[in-house]
Amino acid sequence: MLWTALRLPPLPDTSPPSDAALQGLATWALQFTPRVAIVDEAVVMEVEASTRLFGGKRALRDRVVVESAELGVTGVAWAPTSLGALALARAGIENGVRQPLAALLDALPIATLSAARPHHTTLAHLGCPTLGDLRRLPRGGISRRFDKELLSALDQAYGLQPERHAWETLPETFLARLELPSRVELAPALLLGARRLLLQMCGWLAARRAGTAACTLRWCHDVMRAKNAGDGGALTLRTAEPTRDVEHLCRLLAEHLAKTELLAPVGELALEAVDVRPLTELSASLLPDPVRQGEALNLVLERVAARLGPQRVLRPVLKEDHRLEWMQHWQPAPEPLPRKPAPAVDMPQPSFVLAAPLRLASKGPRPMYQGVLQLLAGPHRVEGGWWHRAHDADGEQGMLNVQRDYYVAWSPHAGVLWVFQARFAGEEAAWYLQGMFA
């Protein structure tokens, strides 16, 4: 097996790391494997079965080392046992798989094994400064003079006895808090602490195979604040599509924080995943993935909208409507995209649609546009719209009911056209040009 130990540093008063910091690190680690446990001041995880999923041991190691450092981890080690990896992390040795584990552990100080720490003074007086010296003592004497946990932990660290852990479980919702090391007076400076919370959230989302379309960052003002400052503030990030891309969320948050003014110094942050949705995973390919060039369009639109304002960046969205003019509408780019409508008709749809239908002349029963048109396909009848109301220039409300027969027509000069014949009771049927095919 392959174990990883992620060790957090002690607090400034030399006390162990907080339970919140350890729990946040464990939640982030659950994206790599379900076998995650908290042991003393560290989080250990068994990743042997996950190496191929994350691109091999080297790729997994690089990702764990880089991301865990942003979460405050100061010691990372890999070994065939969890207690062995923890001992190596305490000693500052990362790789415990290239050499025999016993040779590496024998040279480590006694204090690197948690079960030996209460007996450190006694063992030092016995002339046992290292774990190798402890192993050479008679096992019967160790069992009588010390507790049984010392021998059991020693055997587990060396892989001579199976290890047992209380595995961490993934919470149903994500809400994490972070106390800032110093008071922050400018909103853009909150990004440093918020990034740590975003990393934890994206790890939680990856473990749930989900993404978030909205998350809320809250901050608490310092106790020494003005009376009108309030307890704190909040900022909600919204994306058009569910995502767990931490880099995109950080860039989006940076744009919003640049326009935010803090009413008082901030001492604590909290991040909550508000709108969590299942994220469709792309199927893995046997061939190498192509190298991505640039940034996805929807990510760029969201960042520009955060800078200019959501009402100034619009995107077209399809609607479930069988009338051509109302199959599409414009909405702010950061708003979530609606569910994609199913195809309404089997008839081909034009590439370009006129802002308003153009009435055509006719020659007998056939319409004319730069000559007499030849009808290729149709009719496709579209009726309805009595439920749809619109306001005209005078503010009066009217219904947009239509009764049309659509045709695909051919013009020797204009190409393939999309025309319809309006049919209203008591009125003459008229031909209109609606759109053109590319």
More confident residue, 340 or 90: 90
pLDDT attached to residue 87: 93
**CA gap 321, 362 in Å, rounded:** 29
**CA gap 319, 342 in Å, rounded:** 10
pLDDT at 334 over 90: no
pLDDT at 44 over 90: yes
| pLDDT average, residue stretch 52-59 | 88
Count of structural domains within the chain:
3
My answer on whether 142 and 50 are in the same domain is yes
Of 218-227, 287-296, 346-355, the least confident = 287-296
More confident residue, 388 or 44: 44
Using the CB atoms, write b or e for 222-236: b if 16+ within 10 Å.
beebeeeeeebbebe
More confident residue, 324 or 160: 160
Phi, psi of 332 (to 5 degrees): -60, 140
Residues linked to residue 43 through DSSP beta bridges, in sequence order: 6, 38
My answer on whether 22 and 132 are in the same domain is yes
Whether residue 233 lies inside any domain: the answer is: yes
pLDDT at 426 over 70: no
Whether residue 94 lies inside any domain: the answer is: yes
Using the CB atoms, write b or e for 153-191: b if 16+ within 10 Å.
bbbbbbbeeebeeeebeeeeebebebebeeebeebeebb
> Which one of 157, 191, 222 terminates a domain?
157
> Which one of 255, 278, 301 terminates a domain?
278
My answer on whether 114 and 187 are in the same domain is no
Amino acid at position 235, single letter: L
My answer on whether 84 and 201 are in the same domain is no
My answer on whether 130 and 223 are in the same domain is no
**CA gap 61, 50 in Å, rounded:** 11
**CA gap 2, 19 in Å, rounded:** 25
8 Å CB contact between 198 and 217: no
More confident residue, 145 or 257: 257
- Collapsing DSSP states into helix, strand and coil, what is residue 246? helix
8 Å CB contact between 64 and 44: no
**CA gap 330, 311 in Å, rounded:** 10
pLDDT attached to residue 292: 45
Amino acid at position 33, single letter: T
- Band of the pLDDT at 396, cuts 50, 70, 90? very low
8 Å CB contact between 204 and 24: no
Burial level of 65, CB count in 10 A (0-12/13-18/19+)?
A: middle
pLDDT at 289 over 60: no
Considering the chain, what is the average pLDDT of its residues?
A: 82
pLDDT at 378 over 80: no
Burial level of 92, CB count in 10 A (0-12/13-18/19+)?
A: exposed
My answer on whether 44 and 100 are in the same domain is yes
My answer on whether 258 and 382 are in the same domain is no
Q: What is the DSSP string of 262-316?
A: -SS-EEEEEEEEEEEEE-PPPPP-SSPPPPP-S--HHHHHHHHHHHH-GGGSEEE
Tokens of 211: 């993404």
The domain of 399 spans 352-436
pLDDT at 195 over 60: yes
Residues linked to residue 421 through DSSP beta bridges, in sequence order: 405, 431
pLDDT tens per residue across span 114-163: 888 888 888 888 888 999 988 888 888 888 888 788 889 999 999 989 99
* Residue whose token pair is 């396909």: 377
pLDDT at 249 over 80: yes
pLDDT attached to residue 288: 47
Whether residue 293 lies inside any domain: the answer is: no
Whether residue 321 lies inside any domain: the answer is: no
My answer on whether 263 and 405 are in the same domain is no
* Residue whose token pair is 């007996």: 119
Whether residue 72 lies inside any domain: the answer is: yes
pLDDT attached to residue 290: 45
In percent, the amount of the chain with pLDDT more than 70 equals 84
- Collapsing DSSP states into helix, strand and coil, what is residue 419? strand
Q: What is the CATH number of the domain that holds 246?
A: 3.30.1490.100
pLDDT at 198 over 90: yes
More confident residue, 159 or 401: 159
- Band of the pLDDT at 344, cuts 50, 70, 90? low
My answer on whether 139 and 179 are in the same domain is no
| pLDDT average, residue stretch 264-288 | 77
8 Å CB contact between 40 and 114: yes
Whether residue 224 lies inside any domain: the answer is: yes
8 Å CB contact between 220 and 234: no
- Band of the pLDDT at 387, cuts 50, 70, 90? low
More confident residue, 390 or 242: 242
pLDDT at 429 over 70: yes
> Which one of 278, 310, 341 terminates a domain?
278
My answer on whether 199 and 77 are in the same domain is no
* Residue whose token pair is 């996950």: 50
- The verdict on whether omega for the bond into residue 379 sits within 30 degrees of 0, i.e. cis, is yes
Tokens of 343: 């195809």
| pLDDT average, residue stretch 365-385 | 79
pLDDT at 231 over 90: no
pLDDT at 110 over 70: yes
The pTM for the full model equals 0.67
Whether residue 416 lies inside any domain: the answer is: yes
8 Å CB contact between 42 and 7: yes
| pLDDT average, residue stretch 358-382 | 81
**CA gap 155, 142 in Å, rounded:** 13
Of 294, 219, 309, residue with least CA distance to 262 = 219
pLDDT at 35 over 90: yes
pLDDT attached to residue 434: 79
pLDDT attached to residue 392: 46
My answer on whether 151 and 123 are in the same domain is yes
Residues linked to residue 391 through DSSP beta bridges, in sequence order: 397
My answer on whether 260 and 140 are in the same domain is no
Alpha-carbon distance values, 334 to 4, 18, 70, 261, 304 (Å): 39, 36, 28, 22, 10
Whether residue 232 lies inside any domain: the answer is: yes
**CA gap 78, 97 in Å, rounded:** 7
- Band of the pLDDT at 341, cuts 50, 70, 90? low
